[in-house]
């Protein structure tokens, strides 16, 4: 297998503010070429205002974004009694964003108290806050998917549960209904996960679903190759065109598309999805596609998948790779990914 590719890091950062008169606005961004003006409704997603703090993973062109939101009660009538800001970082990979999660939330809270103090945000940029770093690295960004080098790190990043809870992780993702999503992605369908706020919990569900459904490496490559789901991540109604243009074409690399939303109105727009999965049920756009429903054989596959995931989570935890500060754990994750692939394909 090819050697793991190094993490690129964060290439841009932006601050978003909810203006009581104008709505969501970009308050500051660096570098200027980031063009954050197009992501203000992704960075402060619908429903985030219901929590004192929340977060959202989204797409911004060829980059991923992680935005951490903070709400401060002020008692000021001009601000409608609350002040709401979010700080977002952008990267071609998901793992560096997760590493900065706590820092982004702390910056959002700090800026709610002192909006002009943006200089510390430049320390989030890697390898340096050079104005042209974004343009150079974004132009060379790889296709947006969980690439082999990122999949191993992802086991450590998002499977942060004890070994005994590996089965609980799968149950939280829908249990054997995951097999319906798996078959849909093999057929290059659009899978839309829905749940009400908080938004961050929904995004983690989407990321863990991708982690279970996308694997790579070793003798599993023969099964895995057609399954390269494109992570569209959180979408709002303002991004409906992103789902519409993928109708029948699948993701960028020939697999399906995985997106998530907290906006229930999507359920009434079946032209934007092929599989709509809520925490309690899975709906198909085309009810004639009965082959997507889990069969008795799929139930057996799922039982083997549960054992493989339980072992994978245990290896990630035993390897000490769950700490988000170091972003490591490739060794633990690579074998785990192949084990899951073998179990699901059996």
> Would you state the pLDDT for residue 213?
64
Packing angle, helices 178-186 and 199-213, rounded to 10: 60
> Would you state the pLDDT for residue 124?
87
> Would you state the pLDDT for residue 294?
73
Residue with tokens 């820092």: 103
Cis peptide before 198 (omega within 30 of 0): yes
Q: Is the pTM of this model over 0.85?
A: no
How does pLDDT run along the chain (346 residues), one tens digit per residue? 444 455 567 889 999 999 988 999 999 999 888 888 889 999 999 999 989 999 999 998 888 899 999 998 887 777 778 899 999 999 888 878 888 899 999 999 999 999 988 999 988 886 655 445 455 445 544 444 444 344 444 544 554 544 445 555 566 666 667 778 878 877 788 999 999 999 999 998 888 777 766 543 333 333 344 456 778 899 999 999 988 888 765 555 445 788 999 999 999 999 999 999 988 888 888 876 767 777 777 777 777 766 766 666 666 556 544 333 323 322 333 333 343 334 444 4
DSSP string, 137-148: HHHTPPPSS--H
Inter-residue contact 69 to 258 (CB < 8 Å) = no
Inter-residue contact 114 to 79 (CB < 8 Å) = no
**DSSP 8-state assignment for residue 6:** P
Nearest to 316, CA basis, from 182, 97, 169: 169
Kindly tell me the number of DSSP H helices and DSSP E strands found in the chain: 12, 10
> Would you state the pLDDT for residue 90?
92
């Amino acid at each position: 297998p090819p050697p793991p590719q190094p993490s690129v890091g964060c290439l841009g950062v932006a601050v978003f503010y909810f203006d009581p008169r104008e709505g969501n606005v970009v308050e500051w961004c660096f570098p200027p070429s980031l063009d954050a003006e197009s992501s203000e409704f992704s960075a402060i997603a619908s429903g985030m205002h219901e929590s004192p703090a929340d977060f959202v993973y989204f797409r911004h062109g060829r980059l991923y974004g992680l935005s951490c939101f903070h709400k401060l009660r002020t008692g000021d009538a001009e601000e409608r009694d609350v002040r709401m800001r979010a700080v977002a970082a952008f990267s071609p990979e998901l793992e560096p964003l997760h590493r900065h999660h706590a820092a982004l939330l702390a910056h959002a809270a700090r800026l709610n108290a002192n909006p002009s103090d943006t200089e510390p945000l430049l320390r989030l940029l890697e390898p340096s806050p050079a104005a042209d770093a974004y343009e150079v690295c974004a132009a060379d960004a790889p296709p947006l998917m969980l690439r082999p080098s990122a999949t191993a790190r992802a086991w450590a990043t998002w499977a942060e549960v004890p070994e005994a809870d590996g089965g609980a992780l799968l149950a939280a993702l829908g249990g054997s209904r995951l097999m319906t999503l798996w078959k849909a992605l093999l057929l290059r369908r659009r899978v839309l996960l829905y749940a009400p706020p908080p938004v961050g919990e929904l995004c983690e569900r989407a990321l863990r679903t991708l982690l279970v459904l996308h694997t790579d490496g070793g003798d599993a490559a023969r099964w895995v190759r057609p399954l390269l789901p494109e992570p569209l991540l959180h979408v709002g109604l303002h991004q409906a065109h992103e789902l519409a243009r993928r109708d029948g074409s699948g993701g960028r690399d020939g697999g399906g598309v995985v997106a998530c939303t907290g906006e229930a109105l999507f359920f009434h727009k079946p032209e934007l999805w092929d599989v709509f999965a809520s925490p309690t049920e899975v709906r198909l756009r085309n009810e004639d596609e009965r082959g997507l429903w889990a069969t008795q054989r799929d139930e057996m596959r799922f039982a083997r998948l549960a054992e493989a995931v339980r072992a994978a989570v245990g290896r990630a935890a035993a390897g000490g790779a769950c700490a988000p500060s170091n972003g490591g754990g490739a060794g633990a994750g690579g074998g785990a990914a192949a084990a899951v692939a073998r179990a699901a394909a059996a």
